[in-house]
């Protein structure tokens, strides 16, 4: 078994799913056996904290610290606690969780069991987007197989710990991926994000302590408990520990998704794994980790892809799946596509998001179609300032939407200017 | 509440639908918490969610029809109007846009004679846009029913949507 690529060790070239027998034959459920009934939840949490695992959903918050806010033992009022897996992968340009779910469903289940044990949660949910039919079916099979082996259910492997995992297949809408919106949706409501505090760790699903973690984050948990924090830290090339599912989409030779050491340089991912730009195209810029991260450009290619380094360069690593802007694609059209996405996906609760994003989309549409005016650039700058400000909205959808816009205006101002003057070289004269 | 009594109270939901909804209710603290699951269950059996279904589900879950409709209309994959036998979900998010989803949309419209939000007159297909489908390395992509089609070329639209012609 490959110890330096723990997340994809069961991923086959044809992407066929790994079943219980194959998963166990390759060392599966050893993390579960090492943790449940053997280590105390407090010990598991210490290992997790030491490992420096950070949330793989995009924000990069330290997982152990997030978990440490959940009240334990006597400090928790009587009643259930919940673990929720966020499998609502919908960030534009992000396609890593699908791979983990479809190729190795048991890995997620094992990670969830160990995570729920650490938190002493007896009920867990997998919130999976509606369109992932195949993954949902595989997860249902995996859960049933776990019940047969008593890896789930009452008194797991003779311990006093019990756990049920339920699958909730969603009904659409990007905003469900925001953790408090996800909780609202799981409660059967409209997926409006909630103001924080209170944080879900204290008052989440049905008002009870709740942890929401991304698929990739949870897939790491049992590996860390089984092999230790030092092993996990040794996998990364920089301060940020572990491996990362990196991806590249756009006009490159081999778009794809690969598990690589955390901190692998952008250039290596782009050139060695994605094969470089497709013939006839050159790199103009890239979004490092999904649609709501700031553009970086050629001068950033030698940076390490990790939370700290990409953060210092003025963007975010986000989901780690890069979207490439090539020299033949219009930056204005690119950004308009993203802003229209976020405008469509706004839950409509907060005014800057509900009314601001369609306004931005309208201004960009005017610019794209030759109706732009010089003052439109000031309008966009004002929108970036007010819609992008953290604290003007309950959640990060609107501020996230402003990230590609503000950085496109910074790195590609000529594209906007040419459009306003009616001479975009990408769009045959700027009219279309 | 037994199944027999619930059948009398809510005559428009089938026994099978009620059984599936009850299974969801079993693991939540209050009935209205399964609103979305119940909408999906009914939609799976009937293709869409009618006003009558809204009233029946709401009554079964101890909530008002208006509250349930507010939930139903929030989620883009709950259909409050009839849809075709298969729903085409065309991804038009960024990676698919770079790789030409606008051209695919045009091609589908030419082939089927429908725009986003419309259903073919033979009732075979409804065309809808969808958020990034998480298969960006295979862009452009679309779903037809539950099936994902990857690396879709304009020239393969005719094959994928097999034989359906413009009304």
**ipTM rounded to 2 decimals:** 0.95
- Asked if A318 contacts A338 with a C-beta cutoff of 8 angstroms, the reply is no
Look at residue A380 and give its three-state secondary structure.
helix
pLDDT higher than threshold 90 for residue B3: no
Q: Residue A251 and residue A276: Cα distance in Å, rounded?
A: 9
Q: Residue A266 and residue A260: Cα distance in Å, rounded?
A: 11
Residues A17/A21/A23/A28 CA torsion (nearest 10 deg)? 160
* Spatial CB neighbours of A233, under 8 Å, sequence gap ≥ 6: A51, A52, A241, A242
**What would the mean pLDDT of B101-106 be, rounded to a whole number?**
97
A291–B94: do the CB atoms touch at under 8 Å? yes
Q: pLDDT per residue over B26-57, tens digit each?
A: 989 999 999 999 999 999 999 999 999 999 99
Helix (H) or strand (E) holding A255, with range, is none
- Asked if A337 contacts B97 with a C-beta cutoff of 8 angstroms, the reply is yes
Nearest CA of chain A to the CA of B69: how many Å? Answer: 10
Closest residue in B to A174 (Cα) is: B131
Which chain B residues are closer than 8 Å to A397 by Cβ?
none
Q: Where in chain B is the domain with CATH 1.10.10.1590?
A: 3-74
pTM (predicted TM-score): 0.95
* Spatial CB neighbours of A14, under 8 Å, sequence gap ≥ 6: none
The sheet that has A164-169: what strands, in order across it? A164-169, A123-128, A82-87, A210-214
Instruction: Count chain A–chain B contacts defined by CB atoms under 8 A.
Output: 128
Q: Residue A106 and residue A83: Cα distance in Å, rounded?
A: 17
Confirm or reject contact between A426 and chain B (CB < 8 A): no
- What domains are defined for chain A? 6-235 (3.40.50.11540), 243-326 (3.10.20.600), 331-421 (1.20.1440.230)
pLDDT higher than threshold 90 for residue B2: no
Which chain A residues are closer than 8 Å to B98 by Cβ?
249-251, 323-324, 326, 329, 334
Q: Residue A147 and residue A143: Cα distance in Å, rounded?
A: 6
> Which CA distances in Å does B21 have to B26, B40, B57, B58, B105?
9, 10, 9, 12, 36
pLDDT higher than threshold 50 for residue B164: no
For A68-122, where are the E strands, in sequence order? 82-87
Task: Give percent above pLDDT 70 in chain B.
Answer: 90
Per-residue pLDDT of chain A (432 residues; tens, 9 = 90+): 456 999 999 999 999 999 999 999 999 999 999 999 999 999 999 999 999 999 999 999 999 999 999 999 999 898 899 999 999 999 999 999 999 999 999 999 999 999 999 999 999 999 999 999 999 999 999 999 999 999 999 999 999 999 999 999 999 999 999 999 999 999 999 999 999 899 999 999 999 999 999 999 999 999 999 999 999 999 999 989 999 999 999 999 999 999 999 999 999 999 999 999 999 999 999 999 999 999 999 999 999 999 999 999 999 999 999 999 999 999 999 999 999 999 999 999 999 999 999 999 999 999 999 899 999 999 999 999 999 998 899 999 999 999 999 999 999 999 999 999 987 877 753 333
Nearest CA of chain A to the CA of B165: how many Å? Answer: 26
What pLDDT is attached to residue A428? Answer: 56
Provide residues of B within 8 Å CB-CB of chain A: 27-29, 32-37, 39-40, 70-71, 74-78, 89, 92-95, 97-99, 130-139, 143, 146, 148
Q: Suggest the residue from A152, A172, A349 to mutate for an interface test with chain B (most B CBs closer than 10 A).
A: A172
Which class would CATH give B86-160? alpha beta
Between 3.20.110.10, 3.40.190.10, 1.10.357.10, 1.10.10.1590, what CATH number should domain B3-74 receive? 1.10.10.1590
Nearest CA of chain A to the CA of B149: how many Å? Answer: 12
What pLDDT is attached to residue A114? Answer: 98
- Asked if A391 contacts A403 with a C-beta cutoff of 8 angstroms, the reply is no
* Spatial CB neighbours of B77, under 8 Å, sequence gap ≥ 6: A130, A131, A170, A171, A172
Q: Where in chain B is the domain with CATH 3.40.30.10?
A: 86-160
Mean pLDDT, rounded, of chain B: 92
What pLDDT is attached to residue B11? Answer: 58
What pLDDT is attached to residue A272? Answer: 97
Which chain A residues are closer than 8 Å to B71 by Cβ?
188-190
Confirm or reject contact between A323 and chain B (CB < 8 A): yes
């Amino acid at each position: 078994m490959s110890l330096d690529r723990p997340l994809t060790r069961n991923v086959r070239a044809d992407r066929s799913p790994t079943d219980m027998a194959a998963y166990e034959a390759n060392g599966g459920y050893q993390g579960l056996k090492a943790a449940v009934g053997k280590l105390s939840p407090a010990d598991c949490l210490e290992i997790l904290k030491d490992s420096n695992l950070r949330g793989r959903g995009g924000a990069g918050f330290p997982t152990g610290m997030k978990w440490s806010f959940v009240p334990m033992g006597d400090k928790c009022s009587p009643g259930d606690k919940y673990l929720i897996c966020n499998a609502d992968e919908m960030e534009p340009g992000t396609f890593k969780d699908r791979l983990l779910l479809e190729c190795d469903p048991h890995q997620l289940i094992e990670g969830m069991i160990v995570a729920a044990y650490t938190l002493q949660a007896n009920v867990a949910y997998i919130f999976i987007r509606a369109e992932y039919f195949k993954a949902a079916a595989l997860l249902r099979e995996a859960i049933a197989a776990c019940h047969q082996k008593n890896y789930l259910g009452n008194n797991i492997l003779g311990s006093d710990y019990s756990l049920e995992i339920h699958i909730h297949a969603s009904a659409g809408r990007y905003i469900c991926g925001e953790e408090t919106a996800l909780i609202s949706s799981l409660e059967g409501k409209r997926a409006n994000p909630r103001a924080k505090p209170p944080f879900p760790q204290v008052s989440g699903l049905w008002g009870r302590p709740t942890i929401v973690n991304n698929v990739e984050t949870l897939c790491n948990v049992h590996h860390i408990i089984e092999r230790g924090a030092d092993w996990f830290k040794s996998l990364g090339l920089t301060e940020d520990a572990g491996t990362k599912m990196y991806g590249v989409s756009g006009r490159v030779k081999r778009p794809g998704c690969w598990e690589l050491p955390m901190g692998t340089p952008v250039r290596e991912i782009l050139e060695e794994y994605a094969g470089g730009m497709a013939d006839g195209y050159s790199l103009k810029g890239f979004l490092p980790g999904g649609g709501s991260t700031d553009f970086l450009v050629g001068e950033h290619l030698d940076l390490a892809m990790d939370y700290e380094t990409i953060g210092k360069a003025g963007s975010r690593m986000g989901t780690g799946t890069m979207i490439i802007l090539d020299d033949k694609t219009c930056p204005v059209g690119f950004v308009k596509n993203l802003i229209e996405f976020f405008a469509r996906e706004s839950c409509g609760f907060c005014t800057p998001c509900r009314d601001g994003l369609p306004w931005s989309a309208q201004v960009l549409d005017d610019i794209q179609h030759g109706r732009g005016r010089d003052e439109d650039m000031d309008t966009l700058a004002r929108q970036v300032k007010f819609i992008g400000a953290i604290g003007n909205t309950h959640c990060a959808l609107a501020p996230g939407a402003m990230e590609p816009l503000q950085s496109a205006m910074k790195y590609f101002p000529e594209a906007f200017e040419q459009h306003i003057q009616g001479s975009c070289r990408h769009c045959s004269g700027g009219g279309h | 509440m037994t199944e027999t009594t619930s059948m009398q109270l809510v005559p428009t939901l089938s026994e099978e639908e009620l059984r599936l909804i009850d299974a969801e209710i079993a693991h939540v603290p209050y009935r209205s918490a399964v609103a979305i699951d119940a909408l999906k269950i009914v939609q799976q059996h009937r293709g869409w969610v009618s006003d009558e279904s809204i009233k029946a589900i709401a009554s079964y879950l101890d909530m008002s029809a208006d509250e349930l409709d507010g939930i139903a209309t929030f989620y883009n994959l709950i259909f409050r109007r009839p849809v075709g036998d298969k729903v085409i979900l065309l991804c038009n998010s960024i990676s698919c846009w770079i790789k030409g989803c606008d051209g695919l949309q045009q091609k589908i419209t030419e082939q089927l004679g429908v725009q986003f939000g419309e259903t073919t007159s033979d009732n075979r297909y409804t065309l809808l846009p969808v958020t990034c489908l998480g298969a960006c390395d295979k862009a452009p992509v679309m779903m037809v029913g539950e099936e994902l089609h990857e690396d879709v070329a304009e020239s393969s639209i005719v094959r994928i949507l097999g034989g359906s012609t413009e009304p």
